[in-house]
Amino acid sequence: MRSQPAQAPAAATARPNEAGSTSRTSSARVVLFGASWCGSCRLARAYLARSGIAYSDVDIDSPAGRRAYAAAGGGGVPLLVADGDRLQGFSELAYDYFFARHP
């Protein structure tokens, strides 16, 4: 999993996480590109919810989501974008490190 600069999408379908404001929040605009059929995307959403991180959830299977995903660089899901940095794939350790850099 690598983290690299990217631009946040201009238009994305937003859905706040289900956890509300629990353990921690990020001041960065966090966008998760994913798909309903993606198991790693479900794990990423669960991590964000459990951690209390507000995010926009972009469905790459929708026309608008597909365009936003392409504009963000695409390359595989889940794709997490915050403050111009991107992280593809999911592991709890990688997400912990990513959010330590984006408090």
pLDDT tens-place string over residues 77-92: 999 999 889 999 999 9
pTM, full prediction? 0.74
Eight-state DSSP code of residue 8: P
Under-50 pLDDT residues of the chain: 1-25
> Which are the contacts of 39, defined by CB distance < 8 A and separation ≥ 6?
none
What is the per-residue pLDDT for 20?
A: 35
Helix spans in the chain (H): 39-51, 63-71, 92-100
Rounded alpha-carbon distances, angstroms, from residue 68 to 18, 23, 52, 55, 92? 23, 29, 24, 15, 25
**CA–CA separation, 60 vs 67, rounded Å?**
8
Residue listed under structure tokens 């993606």? 38
**CA–CA separation, 67 vs 29, rounded Å?**
19
The domains of the chain are located at 3-100
| CATH class held by domain 3-100 | alpha beta
